[in-house]
Amino acid sequence: MPCSNRANMPELLSAMRRSDVFLLFYICKHIICLLTYLCSASLWCLIDHLKSIYSQAAKFIDYDTSFSEDEKKQSKQLKITCNLNNAACKLKLKDYKQAEKLCTKVLELDSQNVKALYRRAQAYTQLADLELAEVDIKKALEIDPENRDVKLTYKTLKEKIKEINKKDAKFYSNMFSKMTKPSAEESKA
């Protein structure tokens, strides 16, 4: 359900001072935490709106050439936060391909980011790419072996893989057994 009366973020962001932009990102970062806690069907419009804000905010801070070194460090962290939060919105909206792309952007900036690995594994799982999901979830477990959500997702993923392997084994077993059984015509001859 699309939202109406969206603010034109590029105009808004370009009119703001850099310090105001960093404050805006700080506020947005906390809004998504609240949304995650309160998420229900009535908030889909708000999630869609935040997805747009995070996307435009990340684009804005891509142009960080005029930033000081300290601002560039803050900018990198904000890019990570915006892309991770946008990926969380995309997962909620079942846009798994975009969620995977956003997590990949984060991992280009920080290859050890457990949230990005975890969310990308969730996206890969929904896209039925279980091998890539397993690679990401194993790497997340190496980085943070005590993360409860990652451990639970890994357990669920292993069960899915096991189930698919059983189905494949049964399918190929049936196929090969039909190939090895002589047909009725061959047995008459």
The span from the CA of 3 to the CA of 171, in Å, is 47
Question: Minimal CA–CA distance to 153: which of 122, 129, 124?
Answer: 122
* 57, 50 contact by CB (below 8 A): no
Q: Residues of 54-74 as b/e, b for ≥16 C-beta within 10 angstroms?
A: bbbbbebbeebeeeeeebeeb
Percent of the chain with pLDDT over 90: 37
Highest averaged pLDDT of the listed ranges 17-26, 40-49, 75-84, 142-151: 142-151
Domains and CATH numbers, the chain: 1-93 (no CATH), 94-176 (1.25.40.10)
Phi, psi dihedral angles at 131 (to 5 degrees) = -65, -45
pLDDT in tens, 143-178: 999 999 999 999 999 999 988 888 767 766 666 666
- Distance between CA 85 and CA 42 in Å, rounded? 19
Nearest alpha carbon to residue 135 among 146, 123, 147: 123
| 3-state SS, residue 116 | helix
pTM: 0.66
Q: Give 108's pLDDT tier (boundaries 50, 70, 90).
A: very high
* CA 47, 36, 115, 160 torsion-angle sign: negative
Amino acid at residue number 32: I
